[in-house]
Amino acid sequence: MSKKIDRFKLLLDLAERKRKEAERLLGESQQRVAQAEAGLRQLSQYQLEYQQQFQAAGRNGLSSGGIQTYQAFINKLSATSLQQEQALKQSRAQLEQVEIYWRQAMAHHKAMQKLLDKAQEEQRRHGDKRLQQELDERAQHTRPTYI
């Protein structure tokens, strides 16, 4: 019975490592999503401020070269925003996959823990039963003191 428990302990240890690795990956993925969201918010805020500057500069009069410069930069900001949105979508998709992996690793770890607990309980019951049998046998072989 002890070999069985040792095997379950080894399997539980492997499941624990896998669970910890999944937790690490989950944290990294969550951090990437948060960074991508923050970057997109920052980029959008910067784009809005720059458009406001462009409008203010337009009211004060701008040369055609100045207008083209502003528009080119706004177009670059828009393209960068689209790229950032794509990166955010990819990060979210990766996060979904990592969450699935993490859930599976957690379930596997929990299952291994239950199996180990069950085997240990079975071993304990078996030991209790064996001890009770030994006590019963001793009680049968012991002579009463009054004979």
Q: What is residue 112's predicted lDDT score, i.e. its pLDDT?
A: 95
Q: pLDDT at position 146, please?
A: 66
Predicted pLDDT of residue 71 = 87
- Nearest CA to 73 out of 101, 50, 89 is that of 50
In a 13 Å sphere around the CA of 78, the CA atoms on its Cβ side amount to 7
pLDDT < 50: residue spans in the chain:
none
Cβ–Cβ < 8 Å for 123, 1: yes
pTM of the predicted protein model: 0.74
Query: What single DSSP character describes residue 60?
Result: T
Angle at 14 between CA 9 and CA 15, to 5 degrees: 95
What is the residue extent of each domain of the chain?
A: 2-141
What pLDDT score was predicted for residue 1? 59
Confidence (pLDDT) at 135: 85
Fold topology of 2-141: Helix Hairpins (1.10.287)
- List pLDDT tens digits, range 81-96: 999 999 999 999 999 9
What is the per-residue pLDDT for 74? 87
